[in-house]
Structure 1
Amino acid sequence: MERAFQAGSAFHEVMESAREDLATAASEVLFGLGEELAGEALVDSPVGHTVLSEYLPEDLGGFEAVSRDGAREEFFDFAVSLASADYENASGVTVEIGIADLGAIPAILSEDFLERWDIHVNEESARGWELTTEFRGYRAFEEFRRSRETDGRGRAEILWIIEERFAVFLEGRDVTIDEMHDLIDRFDVEGLARMRGREGR
């Protein structure tokens, strides 16, 4: 359980920190998992953050991008690329969507790695839930905390792992879980998946 908590905390730190400092978020996850990194990486170098930004369109299901950020950094001899965009709809609901390319880090998002760390969550209370789930064929970790019991709105975070290489994270406040799932349905996951073996420059 301790190993699962460490891994879960590291992934959670990516979502929590990405808005303020993408590079710091990457360093935190690598520091937390550094001793477990072994084996072969999918690629020698991640794609650039500008490539990742192409999967964060200006409009996504009624949410418009209002700001963007990106970084490519190296930590512990590993390179990481991250891109994020803040989205807002006509009702003022905001959601951040980010993509991290962790393909140059050995085995960090592989099924064997996740199983070995025993990263499975299924907890529910009156305030919300945390669970391990699947969207469009890929594993995801979802957390929702209700702020208004009457309309089902609250704070939602989703970490979605694509092709054992890309970590897509979504964070919304005063949002419904249906709105978050609709964004996932509209995301170009097929395009991102096709980059599984693509080398960066």
Structure 2
Amino acid sequence: MKTSSILSLAFALALLFTSCGKKDNQAEEAESPTDALQAFADKAKEMGKRETVDPIDFRKLKELMPEELIGLKRIEATGEKSGAMGFTVSTAQARYKGDKDESIVIEIVDTGGIAGVSTMALATWSMAEIDKETADGYEKTTQLDGYKAFEKYNSTIKAGEINVLVADRYVVNVEGNNISVDQLKEALKDINLVKLEALK
């Protein structure tokens, strides 16, 4: 996701959650779409109460990107710190390529500057339980190494992604083409999530 899109979406969600948060939360036995939206907004409001911090230098995020990933060579590594409307995020991205047209893109985003709202914008799946199968693949929320995660894979075209939420501020995205699910998971293991969580 482009950083400008992240900032725009975070700003829009901030306005939405502020509006929804003003309504009284009344429990009903059957959850309507309105109730679901309210629960979503309440969770975002709760996350938003956490202390905001300045995003770390994107160069520290780039350091977590290995030169080689499951046998694929890194062909590009970029990073930036961007802000708009008072929101700031740090982003690092690395691209990897193999000899047989395999490719992986790793993206790490630090949303520290916009706390809960930005996390919701980047990881809406973290607020839900998803378990879906189709003729071509699946998508589901899960736990990977103790972190909330989202998996999506299309077995027909051998493409998929794994997204992980770390410390409620870092979002790690691993996307691959001509790659198996197991390879995506192995690639994620090469990113030191424990070290990422400890970054300040």
Please tell me the TM-score bracket, short chain as reference.
Answer: 0.7 to 0.9
Q: CA deviation at 1:28?
A: 3.8
Higher RCO (Cα < 8 Å, 6 or more apart): 1
Q: Select 2:14's aligned residue among 31, 34, 39.
A: 34
What CA distance in whole angstroms lies between the structure 2 residues aligned with 1:129 and 1:95?
Answer: 19
How many residue pairs end up in the alignment?
Answer: 168
Comparing 75-84 with 40-49, greater Cα deviation is found at 40-49
Show the counterpart of 1:137. Answer: 146
**Corresponding letter in the other structure for 1:30:** A
Q: Which runs of 4+ in 1 moved over 6 A?
A: none
Tell me if structure 1 keeps the 8 A contact 2:66–2:190: no
Show the counterpart of 1:6. Answer: none
Q: Please list, as runs of the form range in 1=range in 2, the aligned pairs for 1:7-46 lying within 5 A after superposition.
A: 14=1, 22-35=2-15, 36=17, 38=45, 39-46=48-55
Show the counterpart of 2:178. Answer: 174
Aligned Cα RMSD in Å? 2.3
Q: 1:146 to 1:191 in 2, by over 3 A?
A: same
TM-score when normalising by structure 1: 0.75
Q: Select 1:99's aligned residue among 103, 108, 119.
A: 108
Which structure has greater helix proportion?
2
Q: CA deviation at 1:57?
A: 1.5
Q: CA deviation at 1:184?
A: 1.5
Q: 1:159 to 1:32 in 2, by over 3 A?
A: farther
TM-score when normalising by structure 2: 0.75
- Structure of higher CA gyration radius: 2
Consecutive unaligned residues in structure 2, runs of 5 or more: 18-43
Show the counterpart of 2:92. Answer: 83
Tell me if structure 1 keeps the 8 A contact 2:7–2:87: no
Q: CA deviation at 1:114?
A: 6.3
Q: Percent identity?
A: 24
What CA distance in whole angstroms lies between the structure 1 residues aligned with 2:8 and 2:161?
Answer: 18
Q: 1:32 to 1:133 in 2, by over 3 A?
A: farther
Tell me if structure 1 keeps the 8 A contact 2:133–2:139: yes
Q: Select 1:52's aligned residue among 57, 61, 79.
A: 61
